[in-house]
Amino acid sequence: MHPAIPHLLELQRADQRIAALRSQLQSLPIRIREADAKLSGARQELASAKQAHTNSLTERKKLELDVEQWKERARKYRDQGAAIKTNEAFKALQHEIANAEAEVARAEDRLLEQMMAGEEIDRRIRTAEALLKDAERTVAEDHRLIEAEQAARQKELEGALAEREAALAPVPEDLRELYSRIAKRHRGIVLAEARKEQCLACGMRVLPHIYQELRRESNHEVFHCETCGRILYFVEAASVNTPAAGKGASAAADSSA
């Protein structure tokens, strides 16, 4: 194995960790905006409910005035009754009185409906106030947790960057450039393990003579997968247990089960 391969593997692990941490850090402002949007929605609902309450009061005053105007008109018609001299005029006046009283009844019905609607708006305001208070608590806690997570991820990122520098230091300049080129092409996955004459990154076959070279401890060359171009490396499989050791492991597993 080329002596730089272990360092490149450490570099790749550090880069993957750095990319993941940066992605998490980039997502945190989005989460803050989403939390703030919930709070903004709760505030808008309360403002809308209060505006509806204001409009309801305005409409109620208009209806109350309407009721009083029709009542006053009916009173005036009744006061005119003493001055009526003919039956025709009296009948006409009674008709006007009846019409005014009917309008009073209709106006009072509309006022009652408006008052009932006002009660519903009052309930809506109380609900919106409670939801806003809950949203303020929730969003404040979200901010606290996100800020704590941001600080932790930033500290981890600084550690990962230091690890990257340590892994990069022993790597020759030509391999650094090669690593950067492959990383750009394969989204940071530069090295691929070769196992059973196969590249585990792309799944394509590794030529037998290259696979044999990768397995030699004395090999100091850098080999690439002919299909995906990644740097290949070989990891010796763990030694197989002897039959006796295997039986002991099976017995231990059986007893623990």
Domain residue extents for the chain: 5-168, 173-233
Q: What is the pLDDT of residue 245?
A: 37
Mean pLDDT, to the nearest integer, of 124-136? 95
Cβ burial of 117 (10 Å; 0-12, 13-18, 19+) is middle
The residue that leads in pLDDT, 79 or 152, is 152
What number is the average pLDDT over the span 229-253? 59
Where is average pLDDT lowest: 86-90, 168-172, 193-197?
Answer: 86-90
Higher pLDDT, 81 or 35: 35
Cβ neighbors of 169 (< 8 A, separation 6 or more) are none
Does residue 153 carry a pLDDT above 90? yes
- pLDDT of residue 249 exceeding 60: no
What's the average model confidence in pLDDT over 141-151? Answer: 96
Q: What DSSP state is assigned to residue 232? A: E
Question: Does 192 have pLDDT greater than 80?
Answer: yes
At 209-221, the pLDDT tens digits run: 999 999 998 889 9
Instruction: Give burial (CB, 10 Å; 0-12/13-18/19+) of 179.
Output: buried
The chain-wide mean pLDDT, for the chain, equals 89
Query: What pLDDT, on the 0 to 100 scale, is given for residue 184?
Result: 95
- The whole-number pLDDT of residue 89 equals 80
Mean pLDDT score, 98-124: 91
**Could you tell me if 36 and 77 are in contact, meaning their C-beta atoms sit under 8 angstroms apart?**
no
pLDDT of residue 248: 37
Class of domain 5-168: mainly alpha
Q: For position 256, what pLDDT does the model report? A: 38
Write the Ramachandran bin of 172: left for phi over 0, alpha for psi from -120 to 50, otherwise beta: beta
Question: For 57-99, how does the pLDDT look when each residue is reduced to its tens digit (9 = 90+)?
Answer: 999 999 999 899 988 888 888 888 777 778 888 788 788 889 9
pLDDT tens per residue, range 237-248: 753 343 443 443
pLDDT band of 252, cuts 50, 70, 90: very low
Query: Which comes out higher in pLDDT, residue 5 or 251?
Result: 5
